[in-house]
Amino acid sequence: MKKKSIAIIIVMMILINLPNFGGVKAANVSAQAYCIMEAGSNRVLYSSNMNEKLPMASTTKVMTAVLALEKGSLNDVIEIKKEWTGIEGTSIYLKEGEKLTLEDLLHGMMLVSGNDAAVSIACYIGGSIDNFAKMMNKKAKELGMKNTHFTNPNGLPDDDHYTTAYDFTLLASYAMKNENFVKIINDEKWSMPYEGKANQRTLYNKNKLLKSYEGANGVKTGFTKKARKCFVLAAKRNNMQVVGVLLHTENHYEESKMFLDMAFNNFTLKKVIEKGDYVKTVPMKGSKNGIIKLSAGSDVYFPLKSDEIADVKYKKVYNSGSDNYIADYSIKAGDETYNYSEELSVKKEDKGTFYNFKNLFKKFTNLIP
């Protein structure tokens, strides 16, 4: 059931439409573009210029981590090659020949933004930087990141390496559903072997939001001269997971806290679909009297303001193979409409048995004087 629920969430996220609205714009913000989203529904709560293409600097490493966790194993032992060392920018100072686990390299990349760790991960998982970039772009397409293009795993400047605040918030929402990803980015420190030295490398998490905001649980900083400061933020309160992206900003921590306060103060998760809610009855294939009653497979929550009411409409129900049924439905709140897909719960019945019993009972009672 757990795997099923995760799969449903992922399908919901992939199928969500690219919105034209983009939430409410906040005043006095230095970020050139931003997007704040509730991760369960992917509803955009606040935004500005969220579809503008901009560089994202080291926040790129969120995608690198996602692919590493999906394609590799944390216990994989990786021998560092010479060409993976001495990479420009921030570094964990890898040396040729040393052996580290994928988990070590992920911490080196996500806690202290090691560009050499990112290159090592990319070359191990993808075989080369170019091939890994293709994997990144394929994943971006799967997630609906329509205005994003990757050329490298670490975010070093390249005119063809860009994203939008909306696209990258979709990625953040997806990444925060991976338990290993969340654990890594929330580790306060991590120790790993240091080739040729008696002591270990000890890496300390550079994300100051984790210690300065209640409920903060991610994600990643970034900076280049061209991209300026970039930040992927995340916090969870009262079971509501909020994620967001600030691009080309100067006050990323202060503005992140402001947006998170706005989200938690103005929105509350409300149950809009209850598990077991009736959806539709369809005929059972290959059976004269059989029917299938379809109902909601899980509870669905949606972030709403105090004066908002969610309007849920089922649009289409279809068989996805065997006894699996999928429902396409929409949730409208205010002027905004979001589209989702959900796997339905199936209950088979033979109406013939019921009707035959009913008719037999009727005949029996008619015989009674």
Environment class of residue 142 by beta-carbon count within 10 Å: exposed (0-12), middle (13-18) or buried (19+)?
A: exposed
Q: Is the pLDDT confidence value at 3 over 50?
A: no
- The pLDDT tens digits of the residues spanning 255-286 come to 999 999 999 999 999 999 999 999 999 888 76
Give me the pLDDT at residue 364, please: 52
Q: Are 68 and 102 in contact (CB under 8 A)?
A: yes
Show the tokens assigned to 308.
């908002």
CA dihedral angle for residue 279, residue 280, residue 286, residue 288, rounded to 10 degrees:
140
- Which SS3 state, helix, strand or coil, does residue 32 take? coil
Residues with catalytic function: 58, 61, 113
Q: Is the pLDDT confidence value at 328 over 90?
A: yes
Q: Where are the domains of the chain?
A: 2-266, 271-367
Q: Are 312 and 295 in contact (CB under 8 A)?
A: no
220 is in an annotated binding site: yes
Handedness of CA 283, 287, 293, 298 (dihedral sign): negative
Show the tokens assigned to 224.
């280049």
CA distance 144 to 42: 12
pTM over 0.75: yes
Q: Is the pLDDT confidence value at 151 over 90?
A: yes
CA distance 218 to 231: 10
Give me the pLDDT at residue 21, please: 44
Secondary structure (DSSP) of 39-62: TTTTEEEEEESTT--B--GGGGHH
Handedness of CA 78, 134, 69, 38 (dihedral sign): positive
Q: How far is CA 229 from CA 33, 107, 248, in A?
A: 12, 21, 5
Which CATH topology does 2-266 take? Beta-lactamase (3.40.710)
Q: Which residues contact 178 (CB under 8 A, 6 or more apart)?
A: 66, 69, 70
Q: For 27-31, 68-72, 134-138, 287-291, which range has the lowest pLDDT when averaged over its residues? A: 287-291
E-state strands within 183-227:
189-192, 201-204, 216-224
Give me the pLDDT at residue 16, please: 42
Closest by CA to 221, choosing from 52, 57, 55, is 57
- The pLDDT tens digits of the residues spanning 157-194 come to 999 999 999 999 999 999 999 999 999 999 999 999 88
Closest by CA to 97, choosing from 77, 81, 86, is 81
